[in-house]
Amino acid sequence: MTRYEELLEEAEKAGVKVLEISMNAFDGLYANGVIFINTDLETNAEKTCVLAEELGHHYTVVGNIIDQRDGWNRHEEAIGRRYAYRRLLGFDQLMAAYHRCAANLYEMVEFLEVTTAFFEEAMHYYKVCYGAYRDYNEMRIYFEPFRVEQIQVI
């Protein structure tokens, strides 16, 4: 099962309907219990990233945030995006990819079924949150550039 299919199941269990339709202005949109995914997205990785973010909006946003000129709406948009980062690229997932010998960025994004841009944005977000690296389960995760090293626990 792909990660996109897993997210579709999650949406169904959360009572959210997911429709793939043609949209000019958006890759994805959440409104009133329905997530719209743009049919112009070419890969499952793109759909996965968009669906995760729109699920984040379902779980965290109240109201219409389409007008991104409004500062509060931009804040709410960022919350949905951060949900997607944590949902798709949490530290357990990063470690699973690393331990499966995903040795470089391209192998990581392929294993994790996300886009390169999404991965890089997530690593920048983690760098802002944690600094240059975070120690996790006897490993050190460096965010920019991404790499993982085993650390000695004393």
Which sequence spans correspond to the domains of the chain? 1-88, 103-154
pLDDT of residue 101: 77
- Rounded CA-CA distance 60/32 in Å is 13
Beta bridge partners of 87: none
Number of Cα atoms under 13 Å in the Cβ half of residue 109:
19
Q: Which tokens go with 63?
A: 């109201």
In tens, the pLDDT along 90-136 reads: 999 999 998 887 778 889 999 999 999 999 999 999 999 999 999 99
Q: Are 32 and 45 in contact (CB under 8 A)?
A: no
Strand bridging mode 139-143 / 133-136 = antiparallel
- Rounded CA-CA distance 137/16 in Å is 34
pLDDT of residue 99: 87
Best CATH choice for the domain 1-88 from the list 3.90.1640.30, 1.10.10.2910, 1.10.1060.10, 1.10.760.10: 1.10.10.2910
- Rounded CA-CA distance 15/33 in Å is 7
pTM for this model (two decimals): 0.89
Average pLDDT estimate for 35-54: 95
pLDDT of residue 20: 95
pLDDT of residue 133: 95
Q: Which tokens go with 87?
A: 């949902």
pLDDT of residue 131: 96
How distant, in Å, are the alpha carbons of 27, 42, 59, 75 from that of 79?
A: 17, 25, 10, 6
For residues 140 and 102, the model is more confident at 140
**17 membership: H or E segment, kind and range:** strand 17-21
Residue type for position 45:
A
Q: Which tokens go with 103?
A: 């040795």
pLDDT class of 73 with cuts at 50, 70, 90: low
pLDDT of residue 143: 93
pLDDT of residue 152: 79
